[in-house]
Amino acid sequence: HSKNADDEHWIKERLKQLRCHFTWALLIADTEMPDLENRILEEIEFLDTKYNVGINNLLAYVKHLQGHNEAALESLKKAEELIQQEHANQSDLRSLVTWGNYAWVYYHMGRLAEAQIYLDKVENTCKRGVNPSHYRMECPEMDCEEGWALLKCGGQNYERAKACFEKALEVDPENPEFSTGYAITVYRLDDFAIETQRKGYSLQPLRQAVKLNPEDAHIKVLLALKLQDAGQEAEGEKYIEEALASTSSQTYVFRHVGRFYRRKGSLDKALQFFKKALQATPASVFLHHQIGLCYRAQVIQIKTAISKQPRRQDRENINRIITLAIPHLEFAVEQKPTFAIAYVHLASMYIEAGDYRKAEDAYQKALSIKPLEELHEQEIHHHYGRFQEFQRKSEIDAITQYLKAIKIEKASFPRNKSIESLEKLASKKLQRDPSDVESLSLLGFIHKLKGDMNEALKYYERALRLTGNLNPMF
C-alpha cells in the first residue's frame, strides 16, 4: 500500500470536512450549466455589489465541473484579490471558502502537496476559534457564502439558501449582506407561490434590505415589484424612479423595471427596457423569456380587442408579433432546457401560429424535465389539456391531462383552473348525452373535491343507476 495512496486518502477525508462549493451539494443539472455560467459572468460584469467574492468562487467551481481546472484556479485567484480589497481586516475568515476550493481543485489535479498547503491554511484559521472540527468554521459569514452559492444555482436550492441566511441573521440581524441575501431568497420563493395566494412574505425583508443598503439599486427594484404584487403599485413606482436615477447595476435594474411595466400592462415601455438590457447581456435567458412574454401579451391584447370589433389588419399584426415572439422563447429553452414554464409560453405561440406539431413537442419536453416543480407540473398539464380539448379536439386526452394536474394535491391557481376546465368539459359531455357514466362520475368527483358531498352523491347515484353496479370510477 503506497504512501501516496495513504496521503490521498488522508487528504480526501479532510477535504470532505471543508465548507466550500465542493461540499455544499449544489443541485445543478448538466443541461443548466451553460445558462448558469452565463448568469455568473453577467453578474461579475454588471452587478455592482460589495459581495462578489462568492460569485468568483462559484465560477471556479463551475469551471471545474466542466473540466477546466486551470481556469478554476484563475477564478480563485480573482476571489483572493477581491478579499484583500474588500475584507482586508478579516481576510483569513473570508478566505476559508476560497482556500477550501483551492484544496479541492488541486486534489482533483493530482497536486496533493498544494492541496495540503491549503488544508493547512484552513486548519490554522479554524483552530483559533471554538470549532468542533479543525476544518470547519461555524460562523455567519460562512453561512452567508453558502446561501449565495445555493441561491445562484436555481430553484431546487432556494429553501436551503433561506435557511443559511436565516442562520446568519440570527447572529447578526442588522448585517446588510445577510439581509440582502435573505430578502432576495424569500422574494424568489414568493415568486414560486405567487399564483396561489400572492404571498407577501418578502415585503418586510426587502424593506429591511433597502434600509440597510441605501445605495443598492438592484434591491430597490425587487421591492418595487413586490409592492406591485401587494397592490401598492404607486409606491413601487417611486422605487423604480429612484433606481433608474442611480447608475449602479443598470442592466439588472432595466431587467426588473421591464418586468414591472410588463405586469402593469405598459408593454411598449417594458420592451424598451428589456431591449436596452439585452444589448448588455445578449445571452440572458431571463430577458429573452420576458421579451417573449411581452409579445405574447400583445397578441392577447389584440385578440381581446378583435372579439369586440375585428379589423382586417389585426390578423397580419398578430402573425407579425408571433414571428417576433417565437425566436426569443426558443432561445430561452435552448439555453436552459429545464425552463419548464417557458415551454408552456412557447407552446402557446406555436398554437397561435397554427403549428400544433411543435406545440405538442414543447409540452412533451416540458413534461420530461426532472425534477419538476409541482406548481409547474400542474401548469403544464392544465395548458396541455386545453390544447387537447380545443385544438386537437380530443376530449379524452384533455380529461387525462386535467386529472393529472388535479391529482397533484398542491393547492394552486393552475390546479383550480384544471378543476374548472374539467367541470365545464364534463358538463358539456353530459348535455350531449345525459347517460354518459364517465361524465357523471367526473362531476361527482369534482363536487367531492370542492367539499360539496350532497351534490357529489347525486352524480354518483345517477352513475350507479345507469351502470347497475357499485363501482363509480373515483
Give me 262's grid cell.
410588463
CA-based max dimension of the chain? 85
Interatomic CA distance for residues 271 and 273, integer angstroms: 5
Interatomic CA distance for residues 214 and 207, integer angstroms: 10
* Amino acid present at 225: L
Q: What is the pLDDT of residue 198?
A: 54
H helix runs in 213-311, sequence order? 217-229, 233-245, 250-264, 267-280, 285-308
CB–CB of 290/263 below 8 Å? no
Residue 324: exposure state from Cβ atoms within 10 A (0-12, 13-18, ≥19): middle
Interatomic CA distance for residues 182 and 275, integer angstroms: 29
What domains appear along the chain, each with residue ranges and CATH number?
1-136 (1.25.40.10)
How many C-alpha atoms does 102 have within 13 Å on its Cβ side?
Answer: 21
Q: Which residue has the cell 481556469?
A: 71
CB–CB of 104/20 below 8 Å? yes
Q: What is the pLDDT of residue 3?
A: 72
Q: Render each residue's pLDDT in the chain as its tens digit; 474 residues.
A: 567 788 899 999 999 999 999 999 999 999 999 999 999 999 999 999 888 899 999 999 999 999 999 999 999 999 999 999 988 888 999 999 999 999 999 999 999 999 999 999 999 999 887 766 889 999 999 999 999 999 999 999 999 999 999 999 999 999 999 999 999 999 999 887 654 455 678 999 999 999 999 999 999 999 999 999 999 999 999 999 999 999 999 999 999 999 999 999 999 999 999 999 999 999 999 999 999 999 999 999 999 998 888 888 999 999 999 999 999 999 999 999 999 999 999 999 999 999 999 999 999 999 999 989 899 999 999 999 999 999 999 999 999 999 999 999 998 899 999 999 999 999 999 999 999 999 999 999 999 999 999 999 999 999 999 987 655 555
Give me 395's grid cell.
376530449
Kindly report the average pLDDT of the chain as a whole number.
94
List pLDDT tens digits, range 120-150.
Answer: 999 999 988 776 688 999 999 999 999 999 9
* Amino acid present at 429: K
Interatomic CA distance for residues 3 and 279, integer angstroms: 56
Interatomic CA distance for residues 190 and 200, integer angstroms: 7
